[in-house]
Amino acid sequence: MITHNQIEKIGSALSAECSWVGEYILEAAIVALQDANFHREAEVLDQLVEALHNDEYGGDNFRYQLTISEVKGDSGEIPF
């Protein structure tokens, strides 16, 4: 099992490797999620990146409210 301290070190290394650019960090997270077969989660982040690209203000102070709604035919169960 990975510890919180290890996750923090990985996150800091990722941030530095991505030159502290949030979009690059998100893109790297998307690739990592896809690699681990977390495709639905990767899609959520991909939609966030797309929303950031389409931000009408074009600034770095993005403010979004995440809303989650049930998908038709989805039992709502988390597949663990």
pTM value is 0.67
Query: Residue 1, exposed/middle/buried by CB under 10 A (0-12, 13-18, 19+)?
Result: exposed
Q: Across the chain, which distance is largest between two alpha carbons, in Å?
A: 42
The tens digit of pLDDT for each residue in 31-69 reads 999 999 999 999 999 988 888 777 655 555 555 555 656
Query: Quick one: pLDDT band at residue 77, thresholds 50, 70, 90?
Result: low
The tens digit of pLDDT for each residue in 17-26 reads 999 988 899 9
Does the pLDDT at position 73 exceed 70? no
CB distance 14 to 21 below 8 Å: no
